[in-house]
Amino acid sequence: MTMRLTRRTFLATSAAAGSLTFLGPRSLHAATNGTLRFGLSAYPPSFDAWASSGTAAGTVKLLIHRGLMSFAPDGSLRGELAESWEVDDQGAWVFKLRDATWQDGSPVTAEDIAWNVAEASKPDSTAFLRGQLQTITKVETPDDTTVRMITEEPSAVLPGWFAHYNMPMIKKGEAVDTTMGAGPFKLDATDRGVSLTFSAFDGYYKKGLPKLAGVKATVYADENLRVAALQAGDIDLIEYVPWQAMEQIEQNDQLKLDAVDGPFMYLTFNGKRAPFDDPKVRRAVAHAIKREDIVAAAFYGRGGTLAHLPIADGSAFYNPDLADGWAYDPDKAKQLLAEAGHPDGFDCTMLSTAQYGMHQSTAEVCQAYLSMVGINVKLDLPEWSTRVQKGNQGDYDLAVMGTTAANNDPDGLSDIIDGSLPASFVRSYGLETPEISGYLKKGRTTFDEQKRKEIYAEMEKVAIETTPIVGLCWRSQGYGMKPNVTGFTNMPGQLTFYSGVTLEETALG
Amino acid sequence: MRKLVLPVSIIAVILALVLLAPVLPLADVRAMDIPHRFAGPSMQHWLGQDEFGRDVLTRLIFGARASLSIAIGSALAAAVIGAALGLLGGYFRGLVEILTVRAAEVILCLPPLLLALLVVTILGAGFWPLILALTILYTPNYARIVYAATLQVRGLDYVTAQRALGTHPLKIVLRTLLPNVLPPLLVQISLVIASAIVIESGLSFLGLGVVPPTPSWGLMIRAARGAMEQAPMLLVWPSLALAGTILTFNLLCDRLQSVLDPRAVPAGGAIWLRRRKPAASPPRAVLAGEDPVNRRAVAGTPPAAGPGDLLAIDGLTIALRRAGGIGSGMELVRDVAISVRPGETLAIVGESGSGKTLTSLALTGLLPDVLEVTAGSAVYVARDGRRLDLLAEDEDGHRRLRGDEISMVFQDANAALNPVQRIGEQLSEVIRAHRPAGAAEAGREAVDLLRRVGIPDPDRRARAYPHELSGGQRQRAMIAIAVANRPKLLLADEPTTALDPTIQAQILALLSDLRRDSPEMGVVFVTHNLAVVAEIADRVAVMYAGELVEEGPVAEIFARPRHPYTAALIGSVPEGGAERLVAIPGTVPPPGKMPPGCRFAPRCDHAEKVCRQASPPEFRPQPDRRTRCLRFEEVT
Amino acid sequence: MLRYVAYRSIVAIFLVWVVVTLVFLLLHLVPGDPAELLLSQGATAADPQAVANLRERLGLNDPLWLQYAHHIGGILTGDLGTSFRDGASVAGQIVQRLPRTLEVIITAALIAVAAGVPAGTLAAIRAGGWVDNVISFLSSLALSTPVFVVGSVVILVFAQELRIVPAGGYVAFAVDPLRHLMLLLLPAGTVALALWAVIARMSRASVLDVLERDHVRTARAKGLSRRRILTRHVVRNAMIPVLTVLGLEMGTLIGGTVLVEFVFNWPGLSGYLVSAVDARDYPEVVGIVMVISILFVFLNLVVDVVYAVLDPRISLAR
């Protein structure tokens, strides 16, 4: 885990230092030896391949690992280690592997894949998708390049699991936190908490990729400094562009911004306690908040309002007629409150966190609007870790949350709205949603696209009515980069944190 | 106290703003106006609007409420707890000390931020947890300071006395110790308030502070830092408020310090450190000046101002210098005239406050900055034959003479020697300051000098620090420094007073030896001890209340004093030459309350009406004697 | 002297043990479960069974006393344990991080002393004059401007506008000495600012105090030059209390440079501590706090010994 000084890293850093002496536009175009300098927002807490270790770790995993599947820059599902995938007539998924090699030179075999599924679904596994993988009852490897997965019930969403950046494939027998994968880059050196140095893996199965000679990822935890580093020319690409800096990056002709609306902010409720155990009160909250102000105040206008379930309007599952289901309507909110027996409002505690400005600002705006309909909100703003625990334990009345769904499929919303899942801070606490759970289950086992659309439309209708969560706004997720960075794509919608996959196509022009 | 007016009034204004905030005509502190976020200053919003369109001025004032009450609250709470721990630990020592002061020091080992983080995460963010965290944070500081101060006071006589009398320990702690540790405590409080304001802002910046929408300066800075590009002024206002408040508290702290510990430092610093001669001091008439002439007319002609004198002081007047201050111009020494011939020892005798020490300091330009020579001259014949007026010399002129031609021996050698420099170095530096000598050569000479003044094992002693020497040895070393360059004039200011009688005798013997070795050296020996005078001096000058009252040869004066004060002094010396002057009724009048006539009249048995009317002139009962008494003939 | 050091060391060990125990217990009182946090990174729902598995693996299901015994046992055998997050050796990480923090603190102290002692001395010898007022004002300003404001302004001006320095970060000295030093100057200079104010104020008070001492009058009576009196008899004596304060200030800075490290992206010990607390990485927090308290106690001891060396009147024998 110590800094290993290779000739390449030496050249890269000295080139960076050298650019300081040549100020001006020239330095912006100075070759960085084909090594992309990437400003990360956090250092991966661990290299555990299957654990949910955050988006920064996700990016790192997408550099060194590959899964069976992934998403293409346009958001469509595509094969990675799997060349093809299909459901056979018994309802089992069959993956045909392509001719790929691990970074140690050995071939990726069906046995490796089967081992991954078995290990990640073990009872003592800490894999993010452990629960889902446990529904795979058997993995068969008829030959070296074929993997057949048999599930209890046919599953329409299984390939999506294997596209998740928390489900990459590692070589059989490797430790779960191995940094040896089948991905386009090899991890050469790490300076824990500071930086990671990658070099291109010349045996990568996609011909001609990766285009970069390497990636030097440096952690800039302070968002303002991350932007400053990009502007100062210290790095080529940054993730998590803070919203207040987006305009300035757009207007700077030495820089470019690639932003998409993907992650979203919403409110969760404690369904075990009055008054939010009453759907009417929850819906009153949904109508009480003017979402434009959240977008303006918390996100500097970078995002969009969200007055229904977080299904993007570009999605095939978008329901235009439900889009304003929770529209701002204070009179309706007051009326609902009166119906629920709270004509004079009530006092409650809103959980958010002071650690992230957007969570805090969102909470402040919600507080202001809720007070207008008589709901007196006291803010509880602990640091993030405490907030997570309080959310998990239901130690709140209502809470501000922000996240992305697992993918762009409505099934990706399960974690957020399925009340049958165990308690978690990402969803309302102790709020039963039997109808929604039923629709989600039905959707998972339905293969027909049109039928799925109908199912999820019904589900959204119920959700608007029962309000298990309150959608607040989409927030823009941006990458900032120098103009000479090409081939890097901020992937659409919920997939924005999968964008690291396009680093294989990224080049420095 | 006038110094405190400015900071106290600023703080009063701030506190008034803070306390009156709810009734002032301010905007609603929480009302958002998101369409007008980041709007600049306007009629409604004097300082503009913040990221939620809220009024910045209002939030600044309400923010002060949170920031200041947290800072002041925790500073006071920590002061009370810390002072209690420090007092108890310092007074009782032992186990109590471990349980109080040492226990508090555990907190110092914890990084402050971790401590705040732990307190705030365990108790939840907010006003009270923050006060608690800061209180815990600052308690050890107070405990340490009060502990140290208590240790100092504890050893003092009056505390020991109370303890011996059986006063309840708690009463001693509260009544006697607490008032004594209060000054450092007060200063610390204002320091801590300033520091707590900064820490509060830091914690709010990290999200560990005040909970929004309650404003605090830290929260405002945190929010503004993100929007630095959009609205830089949002960062400026709270930062200014923070800096301004802290500046005020620091000012208060500085002023408090100087009020509690009044040092007479003139504005602009110690005068001797200034490069140029101070322009502030009024032009002083010298030698042929008018003022001294007038005085001389009263005083008569100075005696023996002849060519044979080594030093002839004339009309020396020293007054308080305090521009516009109380007692400015008050004369502490008035119209003193004395002379010293080469090889002669002149003793200046008088009670404390008679001005004898000031006279010797004035000659070398070492008067404290609050005093200045307002008139007179002191003509000194230098080695090269030049005649210099010592009172007209500037610091550089004095410096060339000091330690070389004119050197001084001070009363308390313990304080007069640099505690952290070796004796040998203190000696050799005076040699090297006036003579071109190498370090080694000067070092050797230093050892020789130590030997000469009778210090045993001088090689080893040269490497010792002053505190490693006995009191007598320190005074010998002091004398060695004074005679290192074979001065023409030695000014010894009570060199034996602090020593016990046996050592005193040895030092006097040493001085006699030195005089024998340097027959040309003139000595001015300042003392209040007549027995010493009799032993060492050729002539004696008696001073009283800043004036020279009698002067003449020792034997004659002792045989027949011509001033009632001299007579009383001689009469007060018990047989056997014991230390103290006794039994002159009354006290020396303080400088501001000098009687109009003869200054000794109130205490004088011989005083008549005429004595109280005008200051008596000088009389010459004999050619070599002077007295300032109208009735000198009646005195025996 | 040796006996004194030995005595103080025993007290120090006791003190460190108290601190470690205190932190260990407090940490377990703080809400937030390390396993749950680790598995819900990126605002995702953690699988309860996975959390339970991780808790078991990390030994978090053991009773508290057993965890404590394990921990103390490890420390006694020189093992600070491994990170809950990625299994990195805590001792190894501290060894890597600590020098970087010390580097900042020591550089800051050097700058602060080099600029603060002359400023304080000048203020004292011109006490009440305009120089004094200016220095007093500047030091108040330096004390009152939060480091994160200073940091942001420094980055904005020097990195973004003038492009003289990089926008924070860290490069190993061995990789690029020049860049390393430039990057070091940012946090060190910012820390030095506040430290400078403290040193200047202390120096001023101390010099004023010494100027009134009899031995300075003696030095003048010896006819020494102003310069020699100032350097050998005033400043040298006045520096003794200043050094004490400097030592204590440096002690609190170890682990107290959080904001500076954050603002300049300097990967020191304080930032490490905060990230460990955020992740509830108990072995890391306890290990770091232990090292910080050892250093603090050690520094205090050094200050006392140096004090005794500088001021021969102080005797360390009890």
Q: Helix C236-253 and helix C90-125: axis angle, to 10°?
A: 150
Q: How far is A20 from chain C (nearest CA, A)?
A: 7
Per-residue b/e over B474-488, b at no fewer than 16 CB within 10 Å? bbbbbbbbbbbbebb
What's the mean pLDDT in C240-253? 83
A7-66+179-260+478-508 and A261-475 have identical folds = no
Q: Give the model's confidence band at B278: pLDDT under 50 very low, under 70 low, under 90 confident, else very high.
A: very low
Residue B345 host element (H or E): strand B345-349
Tell if the CB–CB gap between B35 and A386 is shorter than 8 Å: no
Per-residue b/e over A365-393, b at no fewer than 16 CB within 10 Å? bbbbbbeebbbebebbbbbbbbbbbbbbe
Q: What does the alpha-carbon distance between residue B116 and residue B111 come to, in Å, rounded to a whole number?
A: 9
Contacts 24+ apart (CB under 8 A), A244-252: A244/A300, A244/B226, A244/B227, A244/B229, A244/B230, A245/A480, A245/B229, A246/A300, A246/A302, A246/A476, A246/A478, A246/A480, A247/A300, A248/B229, A249/A478, A249/A480
Render pLDDT for B388-434 as a digit per residue (tens, 0 to 9): 888 888 888 888 888 888 999 988 888 888 888 899 999 999 999 88
Tell if the CB–CB gap between B211 and A365 is shorter than 8 Å: no
Render pLDDT for B303-342 as a digit per residue (tens, 0 to 9): 444 567 889 998 899 988 765 556 667 888 888 999 899 9
Q: Give the model's confidence band at C316: pLDDT under 50 very low, under 70 low, under 90 confident, else very high.
A: low
Tell if the CB–CB gap between B410 and C218 is shorter than 8 Å: yes
What's the mean pLDDT in C29-47? 83
Cβ contacts below 8 Å, chain B against chain C, sum to 222
Average pLDDT, chain B: 82
Q: Give the model's confidence band at C314: pLDDT under 50 very low, under 70 low, under 90 confident, else very high.
A: low
Per-residue pLDDT at A186: 92
- Lay out the sheet containing A82-87: strands in order across: A82-87, A93-97, A146-151, A136-143
Tell if the CB–CB gap between C48 and A53 is shorter than 8 Å: no
A7-66+179-260+478-508 falls under which CATH superfamily? Periplasmic binding protein-like II (3.40.190.10)
Choose the closest CB to A383 out of B34, B121, B212. Answer: B121
Tell if the CB–CB gap between B243 and C293 is shorter than 8 Å: no
Per-residue pLDDT at B1: 61
Chain B residues close to C15, C-beta within 8 Å: 105-106, 109
Residues 6+ apart with CB under 8 A from B225: A224, B205, B235, C148, C149, C152
Tell if the CB–CB gap between C44 and A427 is shorter than 8 Å: no
Q: Highest mean pLDDT: which of B567-576, B589-598, C279-288?
A: C279-288
**Nearest residue of C to residue B249, measured between CA atoms:** C140
The second-level CATH assignment, the architecture, of A69-161 is Alpha-Beta Complex (3.90)
A487 touches chain B (CB under 8 A): no
In 3D space, the residue among A271, A305, A213 whose CA is nearest the CA of residue A467 turns out to be A271
A261-475 falls under which CATH superfamily? Dipeptide-binding Protein; Domain 3 (3.10.105.10)
Task: Please provide the DSSP assignment of A325-379 as one string.
Answer: TT---HHHHHHHHHHTT-TT-EEEEEE--SSSHHHHHHHHHHHHHHHHTTEEEEE
Choose the closest CB to A221 out of C51, C88, C265. Answer: C265
Per-residue pLDDT at C114: 94
B113 touches chain A (CB under 8 A): no
Chain A residues close to C176, C-beta within 8 Å: 13-14, 17
Render pLDDT for C120-165 as a digit per residue (tens, 0 to 9): 999 888 887 888 889 888 888 888 788 878 888 888 888 888 888 8
Q: Is the pLDDT of residue C19 over 70?
A: yes
Q: What does the alpha-carbon distance between residue C49 and residue C57 come to, in Å, rounded to a whole number?
A: 12
Per-residue pLDDT at B280: 43
Per-residue pLDDT at C192: 92
Q: What does the alpha-carbon distance between residue A388 and residue A423 come to, in Å, rounded to a whole number?
A: 11
Per-residue pLDDT at A284: 92
Chain C residues close to A2, C-beta within 8 Å: 96
B228 touches chain A (CB under 8 A): yes
Q: What does the alpha-carbon distance between residue B540 and residue B552 come to, in Å, rounded to a whole number?
A: 6
Tell if the CB–CB gap between C30 and B118 is shorter than 8 Å: yes
Per-residue pLDDT at B636: 65
Query: Percent of chain C having pLDDT more than 90?
Result: 15
Looking at A194-198, A246-250, B377-381, C296-300, which range is the least confident one? C296-300
B123 touches chain A (CB under 8 A): no
B124 touches chain A (CB under 8 A): yes
Cβ atoms of B450 and B462 within 8 Å: the answer is: yes
Render pLDDT for B216-243 as a digit per residue (tens, 0 to 9): 888 888 888 878 777 888 888 888 888 8
ipTM reported for the complex, 2 dp? 0.84
Q: At residue C223, what are phi and psi to the nearest 5 degrees? A: 80, 25
Tell if the CB–CB gap between C215 and B400 is shorter than 8 Å: no
Residues 6+ apart with CB under 8 A from C220: B272, B366, B399, B402, C229
DSSP 8-state class, residue B62: H
Secondary structure of A401-462 in HEC code, one letter for each residue: EEECCCCCCHHHHHHHHCCCCCCCCCCCECCCCHHHHHHHHHHHHCCCHHHHHHHHHHHHHH
Cα of first residue to Cα of last residue in chain A, in angstroms, is 32
Q: What does the alpha-carbon distance between residue A216 and residue A194 come to, in Å, rounded to a whole number?
A: 11
Query: Percent of chain B having pLDDT more than 90?
Result: 8
Residue ranges per domain, chain A? 7-66+179-260+478-508, 69-161, 261-475
Positions of chain A with pLDDT under 50: 1-32
B227 touches chain A (CB under 8 A): yes
